[in-house]
A and B are shown apart, each in its own frame.
Chain A
Amino acid sequence: MDFWFSYIALASIYVLLGLSTNLLVGIAGIFSVSQAAVFGVGAYIVAFFLMNDITSFLPAMAIAAVCCIALNILVTLPALRVSGDYFVVTSFGIQLLATAVFTNWTDGTGGANGLPGIPPPDLAGKALEESWQVVLLCLGGMALGCLIFWLVMRAPFGRLLRAIREDELAVAATGKSVLRAKVSAAALAGAFAGTAGGLYATFLSFIDPSSFDLDASILLLTMVVVGGARTLAGSIIGPFLLLALPQILTLVDIPTTIAAAARQLIYGVLLIAFMLFRPQGLAGEKL
């Protein structure tokens, strides 16, 4: 039972991250490989506020979301000036920088040892001690994220972002501000990633830098590619499918020492295979 709880909670959190990545990479065409860094900042901020008993859960989440909005706009800013390939390199650097900070700023993040003992989330003054309560909270967060994504994509904003991904110059020629639309997309993606971080920290009650490193960013991209770029369904299918993989691997008799490496290998193979043979993913459009 506990396995199912943790699978559903984690998958819900990764759906939020998938939405964040899909919005930036799939829809706006801003190829970011640093979404895990923003996710991490959200997690550490919520952990900090709850562990030091500064605020309760919801205000901490709001603060994390606001900080991640600002941070994501900041890290996406280079994409507004340098295009495509160059931005991937910039974004890669930002991710490495974030990992270095998470690992070495021991006072703030606990360094490589991480932060244990993060209190559970609370709502209306009551701590959610039972795991099913937290699972419901994560599912609620996911549902809210999906609703927002759906609303935004069916509105003119969604169409504007799609048009920008196809041809920025043509959008500018119709008198629209490409810059403003990209900043808005980055803000929304930041809010999703920050919220996901807060849920992650309180659900696991322990965080360390390994959850927010480059591998995590690549995993997010893999989820979007496998699930399908630019669609809500793709952002949901990807995380649920890829997070089931480690569990499936436990059924196969391989030594635990190579299990993590095998998982990483399979993620990599999946990413390449989908890019080559099914670029639209299971339920999406071509990236």
Chain B
Amino acid sequence: MTPYLQASAVEVSFGGLRALNDCSFTIQQGHITCLVGPNGAGKTTIFNVITGFLKPNSGSVTFKGQPLDGWKPQAIVAAGIARTFQNLRLFVDLTAVDNVLASLPGQTGEEPLAAIFRPFHVAAAQRRRREEALAILDRVGLSARSGDFVRNLSYGEQKLLIIARVLATGAELLLLDEPASGLSSGALEDVMALLRSLRNDGKTLLVVEHNTRVVQKIADDVLFLHQGHLMAQGSPETIVNDPALAEIYFGGAI
């Protein structure tokens, strides 16, 4: 059986620093896989490699058996992989619904000629697209804030909006960089419930997460990254309860 997403011997160096060192793993379709590890373990770097923002020095990533080597981020999103950023990168001068609309693929009027010569067609298509965007906002529980500018949303709402935006791309594999960090306990429960419901809808999630409590609650599978290398892979219980890994994670031996 072809693995859903497979990283094989991925190497990335920034000057003398080896961010990823012979990094190999696979993730399963329909699972929430949590990517854990101490700071600097290479979690965000592997996201950058998978989504085409960073070209690895060697090694490769295959998605449903297809190698993604040399693909541009655009092509990778079209293939069904989309990501979020740890520092959100929302369009703060746009409204919530416009943030989602800006991420919906293949829109009529996204180039000027159609906008100029087929204005009514474009306007009609936009009305339909807006409905779609509102449905996505509703999905993450933000329908009441659709017309608000991002800068007026709370941090928790912004974290939900970032998930709405990645959902808008229509991708089946979502790479979420710390979707639960910095949230109050109430907002945290909302995000965890949302992630589980996305999985139940057939999405596959690869999630960078630091909070072991969150990992235990949402993960089907855990990848433990250390110094750019996959150190362990398993169920949340085995990883979290492994004393050697806990030692590394909580600032023990290098």
Contacts and interface: CB of A to CB of B under 8 A. Distances in A.
| A and B interact physically | yes
A163 B74 contact: no
A171 B119 CA distance: 24
Contacts of A67: none
A171 B102 contact: yes
A175 B94 contact: no
A174 interface: yes
Contacts of A245: none
A166 B94 contact: yes
B90 A170 contact: yes
Given A174-B169, A175-B82, A175-B105, A155 B90 contact: no
A155 B126 CA distance: 8
Contacts of A174: 77, 82, 102-103, 165-166, 168-169
Interface in B99-136: 101-103, 105, 107-112, 114-116, 119, 122-123, 126, 129
Contacts of A158: 115
B109 A156 contact: yes
A163 B94 contact: yes
> Is chain A's interface secondary structure helix, strand, loop, or mixed overall?
helix
B98 interface: yes
Interface in A163-188: 163, 166-167, 169-177, 180-181, 184-185, 187-188
In the complex, the 9 A-B pairs of residues with the closest C-beta atoms, listed nearest first: A175-B77, A155-B115, A155-B109, A174-B103, A170-B89, A156-B107, A156-B110, A163-B102, A166-B91
Interface of A: 148, 151-152, 154-160, 162-163, 166-167, 169-177, 180-181, 184-185, 187-188, 285
28 contacts: A151-B119, A152-B115, A154-B115, A155-B112, A155-B122, A155-B126, A156-B126, A157-B111, A157-B112, A158-B115, A159-B102, A162-B93, A163-B91, A166-B93, A166-B94, A167-B89, A167-B90, A167-B91, A172-B73, A173-B84, A173-B85, A174-B82, A174-B165, A174-B169, A175-B73, A175-B76, A176-B74, A285-B93
